[in-house]
Structure 1
Amino acid sequence: MSSRAIPYTHWAYFPDRASAERCALDLGDYVTRIREPDEYPKWLLLAGRDVGVGGMVQRHREVKAIVTRHGGDYDGGEAGLLEGDPTLPGREES
């Protein structure tokens, strides 16, 4: 298992802001951002942090379980600094 860590952002959609906020709190040490519905009819929660490459599958399972528990739809994630990545400096929560 690799111990190398990379920045990684998980994406999840929620029917309302309150459920997205509760999920963000439950994600603990993730940097989170919540965005109002724009091109999708649901609230977007971005949750990012550095993740060990060898632990990606387990991390996906953990985050998906937390998102589901709060009524959200988990949409996977992406590695690296991407447009909308909550770990980018200067990003403000909606």
Structure 2
Amino acid sequence: MSSRTIPYTHWAYFPDRSSAEACARDLPDYVIRIQGPEDGRWLLRAGRDVEVGRMVERHREVEEIVVRHGGDYDGGENSRLEGDSAIEGADGES
């Protein structure tokens, strides 16, 4: 029996780029986008397919990782991040 999955993207904000990057390293099975700074904060989005029955568990796991790295977890949405992980922002990277 296979479980139904949906694409899901978590959102989190960090005070600096290095904190967002450290958090990203603890989410190796996610496609990561880091953008910023905007209003002094860096946005990290982490997306992957998630089993519907494990949504609450995944939220808790990701929130714990975000908080451990000094970020503010802002929930998530049913959406897919396409492509490779990327950092956009300071130092002209995109």
Q: TM-score range by the shorter chain?
A: 0.7 to 0.9
Structure 2: distance between partners of 1:55 and 1:5: 9
TM-score for both structures, normalised by structure 2: 0.84
**Residue of structure 1 in register with 2:9 after alignment:** 9
Structure 2: distance between partners of 1:26 and 1:73: 16
Structure 2: distance between partners of 1:49 and 1:64: 15
User: What percentage of aligned pairs have identical amino acids?
Assistant: 66
Cα RMSD (Å):
1.8
**Residue of structure 2 in register with 1:64 after alignment:** 63
Q: Shift in Å at residue 61 of structure 1?
A: 0.2
- Other structure's SS at 2:53 match: helix
- Other structure's SS at 2:28 match: coil
Structure 1 residue runs of 5 or longer lacking an equivalent are 82-86
Structure 2: distance between partners of 1:66 and 1:92: 19
Q: Shift in Å at residue 90 of structure 1?
A: 8.0
- Other structure's SS at 1:93 match: strand
Q: Shift in Å at residue 91 of structure 1?
A: 8.0
Contact 2:12–2:72 (Cα < 8 Å) also in 1? yes
Structure 2 residue runs of 5 or longer lacking an equivalent are 89-94
1:88 equivalenced with 2:82 (yes/no):
yes
- Structure 1 or 2, whichever has the larger Rg, is 2
